[in-house]
Structures are given as C-alpha cells and as structure tokens.
Amino acid sequence: MGVALAAENFPPPEFTTGYQFPKATEPGPRDASLSLVDAAVLLTALSLAAYFALRRRSRRELAILSVFCLLYLGFYRHGCVCAVGSFQNVALAVADPGYVLPVVVGAFFVLPLLFALFFGRVFCSAVCPLGQAQEVVLLRAVKVPRWVDQALGVLPFLYLGVAVLYAALGSAFVVCRYDPFVLFFRLGGNLEMLIFGVAVLLLATVVGRPYCRFLCPYGALLRLIAPFARWRVRTTPTECVNCHLCADACPYGAIQPPNVTDARIGRLEGRSRLAWLVAAFPLILAAGGFLGWQSAPVLAKLDPTISLANRVWLEEHGRVKGKTEASEAFATQGTPSADLYREAAKIRKRFDGGSLLLGVWVGLVIVLRMISLSVRRRREAYQVDPGACVACGRCFSACPVGRSVIAEAEGASISALTPGEEGR
C-alpha cells in the first residue's frame, strides 16, 4: 500500500484565500442502452441473412448485408464484443459466480446459435465481421483436399476446449488475444497480432475462410448445431442434375458429390472400424483424461499468477539471477510471497481438474471425428454439408437448374425453404 503511506507526506494545506479543491472528472463508460442497440442490430442482421440466404437466395443481397455488418460490428464497434469470443465470457460466468455476464454478451453468444438451430450458419453467412473480412479478400479458392479439410477441421474443437479452460479459470481470453482481425478494426495492436492477421488474410485470398474452417471455436459450435437446422441452404431449388457445377462454385468444400456407387463397400468397411472405435471409446477418453491431467503443469504455466509465483520462488531460492518485469513489480508492491504461493496453489489445483476435462474433451473430439468418418451416408445427388456450409450463396447461381427456375418464375422463388433433410 505504497500509495496510502505516501499520502501522509504532505497534508493538504489550509488555504487562506478560500481556495476550493476541484474534483477529478469521472467520465462514464458507454451507455448500457447503446449495447442493446448492438444486440438489436445483430438480431436484425441475422433475420435478414436468413431471409436473403434461404428465401431470396440472393448472393448480392447477402453481400450488401455483409458489408454493412463488417462496417458496423467490425469497424464501428471495433469488433468487440463479438460472438466468436463471447463463449469465453459465458464459460467464466459459469465457473466464477462473482463474474456477471453482460446481457449484450449473452445475446451475442446465444442469438447466432439459435438462428443456426433454425436456419443453419446464417451468422457466418453475412453477419460475423471476421467471416466477412475473409470473404471479401477471397480471390480464387484452391480446393483443399478432403482429408486435409477433415484433419484440420478438428482444430476448432480443440481450440474451443483450450479457450474454455483458460477463460473458466480466469487466466486469459485466448480467443480475443489471438483474434486475427480485431487489429484492423481498431487500427492498432501489437506486432504478433499484425503478423497473424496479415498471414490469415493472405491465406484467405487463396483458401476460402481459413480462420473459419480451421480455427474459429465459435464456428465449431455452429457446426455442431447447424445439422439440426429446420430450414437450410439448398443448392438447387428442385432436382439435382448432377452437373458438379455447385461443388466447383463452393470455395469451402461444403458440397459433397453423390456416392451411391461405392456406398456398399464403404459401409462394410466402415462397420468394422466403427465397432473397434466404439469398443475403444472409453479407453480413449480415459487416456485423454490422463494425458490432460499430466499436462496440467505445462498448461498452468500460461496463467500469469502461476508463472509469477514460479519466478518468485526460483528467485528466492537463488535458482535464477535477476528479475523479470513482473517479479520486480511484485517486489515493489510488497505483498508477502507466501500469499502469492497460496494463491498460485489454489489456481494450480483448479488447473488439474480443468486439464483432465480438457483431455477427455480432446479424446471425445478425436473419436467422434473418426466415427463420423467411418459412417457412410448415402448421397444420390450433390448435397450440402449443413455443418460446413456458411450460406455464402455462391452455389445458388452456379446451379443451372436453379437458374432456369428463376428465369421461369421471376421473383416467386419456389421451395427455397425446404424443411429438414434434403435429397434423401
């Protein structure tokens, strides 16, 4: 409490001229009601995106909306708070009763998921500023081989697990720290962010939405929910003529070709693999949990309190020379190191449990991914994978059937909204 002691140095003088102390101004934060405007904008944008993607089937209208959202949620609101990072606030609020989830953050977390439950990933389609930033720089998409797509597609789920761990334990909001574009939205940030952001943007010119597909943890949640959507994107409003044009048009590998020819062999092959996987399921989960628990010390090192405690301990025992900025600051504050160790031990204990859960989660993700690869779904026509489709609308105009239908009945878009499963 250096400041409190220092306050006694010179008592405020007794002025004889009747001088009045001015008061320090305390300008308040942005009005809370304005954040409700943000939530309202989000709700409206989501509704419009659903309408444009599913009913109007218009990529142009989606593009106009996405430019607006990029400007408003991205540049005007500085990309904060965004849905992508909101799950961290939710995780912290669940784990720490002392932290209150702001209403607008809750809205940003839940609205896109609710919309995904009914209309698929319309949030990614034209609302999410990160998605739009990648969408606008895409020049020419190279096809990512399916196995690479599948393998890297596990990363968002792992990232989700790690980010939830650190957020719930109050260590860091990892997703915000490694947000690729927030630096452009705010026109400021550190060098790491700049390098990462530029790298993602460059990659995004040739690979469709790399952050969305291979990293975005919120996209992982949407991907899980979108297959249950009530209404979803269809490439063709009527019958598919198997021309392959839609699959060529999709830069995100979301359209799968028909596989009726090899379905039987695939099924049999998959079945034995499936049996093995199901048998090994508990084992893999246990192994994941064990490995996670083992890696707790490593994971905990990233927590600022724990790393400071480690450093101070090493210094006190003469294992390292010199001081880091943090240990120097700690020494200046004059807190007893025993307090710090106690605090660190408390956090460390929570990391043990958390890392174990993270390990189980990783095991679960891997097994489920392998199971989904072993299960062959019969496709008689080209089909949109609802989890992967971000409803960008490129395939609508690529489909010759769709074009002729539109030409036939200008304006009256038929059966664009088709309930449930399609073409099965």
90 lines the binding site for ligand SF4 (CB under 6 A): no
Residues 185-214 that bind other proteins (CB under 8 A): 186, 188-190
Closest CB 310 distance from ligand SF4, rounded Å: 20
- According to CB under 8 A, which one of 145, 282, 297, 304 is a site residue for other proteins? 304
- According to CB under 6 A, which one of 91, 193, 200, 389 is a site residue for ligand SF4? 389
Residues 338-397 that bind other proteins (CB under 8 A): none
- Only segment of 28-36, 51-59, 249-257, 387-395 that touches other proteins (CB under 8 A): 28-36
Residue 255 binds: one of ligand SF4, other proteins, none (C-beta under 5 to 8 A by kind): ligand SF4
Closest CB 333 distance from other proteins, rounded Å: 6
Closest CB 393 distance from ligand SF4, rounded Å: 5
**Which lies closer to other proteins via its Cβ, residue 13 or residue 318?**
13
Residues 133-172 that bind other proteins (CB under 8 A): 172
Residue 94 binds: one of ligand SF4, other proteins, none (C-beta under 5 to 8 A by kind): other proteins
The 3-class secondary structure across the chain, one letter per residue, is: CHHHHHCCCCCCCCCCCCCCCCCCCCCCCCCHHHHHHHHHHHHHHHHHHHHHHHHHCCHHHHHHHHHHHHHHHHHHCCCCCCHHHHHHHHHHHHHCCCCCCCHHHHHHHHHHHHHHHHHCCHHHHHCCHHHHHHHHHCCCCCCCCHHHHHHHCCHHHHHHHHHHHHHHCCCCCHHHHCCCCHHHHHCCCCHHHHHHHHHHHHHHHHCCCHHHHHCCHHHHHHHHHHHHCCECCCCCCCCCCCCCHHHHHCCCCCEECCCCCCHHHHHHHHHHHHHHHHHHHHHHHHHHHHHHHHCHHHHHCCCHHHHHHHHHHHHHCCCCCCCCHHHHHHHHHCCCHHHHHHHHHHHHHHHHHHHHHHHHHHHHHHHHHHHHHHCCCCCCCCEECCCCCCCCCHHHHHCHHHHHHHHHCCCCCCCCCCECCCCC
- Only segment of 33-41, 251-259, 310-318, 340-348 that touches ligand SF4 (CB under 6 A): 251-259
- According to CB under 6 A, which one of 74, 210, 219, 354 is a site residue for ligand SF4? 219
- According to CB under 8 A, which one of 46, 56, 88, 217 is a site residue for other proteins? 88
Residues 31-70 that bind other proteins (CB under 8 A): 32
- Only segment of 136-144, 287-295, 302-310, 390-398 that touches ligand SF4 (CB under 6 A): 390-398
Q: Which residues bind ligand SF4 (CB under 6 A)?
A: 84, 123-124, 128, 130-131, 209, 211-212, 216, 218-219, 233, 235, 249-250, 252, 254-255, 384, 389-395
